[in-house]
Amino acid sequence: MRRHGIPTAEGESFEHYSEARKFIKDSERQRFVIKALGLAAGKGVVLAADQKEALEALDDIMVYKKFGREAGDHVVVEELLDGEEISVHTFCDAHTHKTLAAGQDHKRTWEPDGPNTGWMGAYTPVDFLSEEDMKVIEHKIIKPTLGLLFICIMMTKHGPKVIEYKARFGDPETQSMLPHLSSDTDLCQILLACTSNALESVKIKARSGHACNVVVASGGYPGSAVQSSWRRALKVSVLRALVDPISVHGVLKTAGGRVFSVAAVEDTLEEAVRTAYKGVKLIKFDGM
């Protein structure tokens, strides 16, 4: 990102503990993000509110190898970005890119807080994002990045900054972004066009209104399946389909912590939230 002038958090990566420690101690910043660079099952990021917490996180990662031996060999120390985080999904082929209306996901179990999850819901579009903001994102972030699909962006008071890229659709953003496409926009056509450099000729239109989806999880999630009460293979009943008939062949059973996502599109965000929760109430399983 630095090489291409793409705005992101300031920071450095370190292989040596003493250098990372010195960087934190010499910094004029108070708040840091410390990341284990290797795979850490999605847990290797610590948001540190002051230098003491940052140094403790560094010890956990590099000295005590709390996130695994290899994950702790290399760390990234970054400034902590303040703002609202948004998700931007972009289709691209070798010549063209087209961006869906931005969404925002919800990471904590409860509203507004609770333990971190693999995301509990999302909505599209994001009302606080202006056309001017989207122009800045297009010009400074998407164009110089082309080739990637999903960008998490922090809207800071110094403008949009990249948190991370993912070369896949977001979950649960996708469940709100795709229903927000107009009825004459064909996802299959978009995806095929991406693979044959024909994206220029495809129209991607959003319908008016707002989409929201709510994730339904097993009781005890996000605690570990072993230690907490959430179990797999619980029988699921769909009491009545809300809009389209759902045909169920055989028995539906749960297969993990996050089980279903129920999405709705309505004129306002509030109505979309209400309708999604109405859909949730039509599904039942033990400890839901």
- Binding interface with ligand GLY (CB under 6 A): 105, 119, 166, 170-171, 173
Residue 153 CB, nearest approach to ligand GLY (Å): 12
DSSP classification of residue 89: E
Sign of CA dihedral 41, 90, 101, 216: negative
CB of 261 to ligand GLY, least distance (A): 11
- Six token digits for residue 230: 């959430």
CB of 183 to ligand GLY, least distance (A): 25
- Bridge-partner residues for 79, per DSSP? 32
Q: Which residue is nearest to ligand GLY (CB)?
A: 170
Which residue's CB is nearer to ligand GLY, number 78 or number 105? 105
In whole angstroms, how far apart are CA 94 and each of 132, 138, 150? 26, 16, 17
Q: Which CB, 98 or 106, lies closer to ligand GLY?
A: 106
Please say whether the beta carbons of 252 and 238 come within 8 A: yes
Run of H or E residues at 227: none
Question: Among residues 175 and 275, whose Cβ is nearest to ligand GLY?
Answer: 175
Shortest distance, CB of residue 129 to ligand GLY, whole angstroms? 17
Place of tokens 């800071």: 156
Q: Tell me whether residue 78 or residue 173 sits nearer to ligand GLY (CB atom).
A: 173
Kindly tell me which of 73 and 171 has the beta carbon lying closer to ligand GLY. 171
> CB count, 10 Å around CB of 90?
20
CB 164, CB 25: distance < 8 Å: no
Closest separation in Å from C-beta 121 to ligand GLY: 10
